[in-house]
Amino acid sequence: MSFVRDLPSENSYVVVGLASNSGQSISVNGIRNGTYRDAVTGNSVNVTNGILSFSVASYSAGIYVLNGPGKIGTNGMFLR
C-alpha cells in the first residue's frame, strides 16, 4: 500500500509505502520532482520524472519526505 500526503500550508510533501509480511517494491507516479529522503532508512532518491521507486522491508514502512532530513532515530524494535 502507498499514498502521498501533501500539506501545502506546512510545506510538507511525503510519499509513504507500507509492507506487511513480505518486503515490497513500490513505485508511485505523478509526484513532485526533487530529492526525497527516507525517515526510516536514510536512503536518498532524486526524482526527475515524477516517479519514485523504492523497496520496503517486511513489517516496515518507507517514508520519503521531499527535501527531508533523512533517517530519524536509531534502529530498534520499531525502527528497522
68 close to 52: Cβ distance less than 8 angstroms: no
In a domain, 23, yes or no: yes
Number of domains in the chain: 1
pLDDT of residue 13: 96
For 21-53, the pLDDT digits (tens) are 999 999 999 999 999 999 989 999 999 999 999
Pick the closest to residue 15 from 43, 24, 6, 50 (CA basis).
6
Residue 35 counted as domain residue: yes
Answer whether residue 49 is part of any domain. Answer: yes
Q: What was the pLDDT predicted at 79?
A: 60
Residue 58: CATH number of its domain: 2.60.40.1180
Share of the chain above pLDDT 70, in %: 94
Range of the domain at 55: 2-66
pTM higher than 0.85: yes
Q: Does pLDDT of 73 surpass 80? A: no
Q: Kindly tell me if the per-residue pLDDT of 78 is higher than 90.
A: no
